[in-house]
Amino acid sequence: MIHSTAIIHPNAIIGAGCEVGPYCVIGEHVTLGEKCKLHSHVVIDGHTRLGQGNEIFPFASIGLKTQDLKWQGGVTRTEIGDHNTFREYVSIHSATSDGGVTVVGSHNHVLAYSHIAHDCQLGSHIIMSNAATLGGHVMVEDHAIISISAVHQFCRVGKFAMIGGCSKVVQDVPPFMIADGNPAETRTINKVGLERNGFSDEVQTALRQAYKIIFREGLTVSNALVKIEAELPALPEVKYLIDFIRASERGICK
């Protein structure tokens, strides 16, 4: 299942059932889990480990040296989970500092021309639409959807959040919300995403009320969170939203 034109370093570890197509290049410190499929012209290098069942399309580049000018050498890693899809021309770069790791979870769908920069931390079940771009040290939580947009370095995108097309994200996107615009603002709850993932009417109602308190009543963020704690049901999703916002270092898209 390895094409004769593929170049694979003898020290690379290739799991059982992998398919490596024409003109792929796999470096010395790469590990591919079982049943990964590299279509053609894929480059995987650096200290990079992929789990099982990942599918990688032509001209994707994974695990290469960071583009960050602060690079001073050392061993940096790229760790990728299971059953991800990386479409054409996707680029995922290794971390910047010695011992650092760029992490991508499992069951993610990363579409053509998307970029995941150094030291990013991605969860699972994420969709990145064509040409979505993550700056360095960005954190994306589970089930987030990122349309074609740019996310600034060190921002966080909360779970079940959605970012609209052509958005410029310079602050954190709260979980369960939709952010859109240039710069991005939080517009409403991600109603369709919550419904599709089985969130109850009670949870959706509480998150909608929380959204109004934070973004529509003109309160400071800290006062809005105190009001939510006092007036809304103590649901896990509401608490998660509060904790996410309180932990923000860049502030939230407001």
Catalytic residue selected from 27, 123, 135, 136: 136
Q: Which residues contact 191 (CB under 8 A, 6 or more apart)?
A: 204
221 half-sphere exposure, CB direction, 13 A CA radius: 15
Catalytic residue selected from 45, 119, 172, 180: 119
Helix/strand/coil percent split, the chain, to 5? 15, 30, 55
Q: Is 118 a catalytic residue?
A: yes
Q: Which residues contact 243 (CB under 8 A, 6 or more apart)?
A: none
- Between CA 96 and CA 68 the distance in angstroms is 7
Helix (H) or strand (E) holding 103: strand 101-104
Catalytic residue selected from 118, 137, 143, 152: 118
| Residues that are catalytic | 118-119, 136
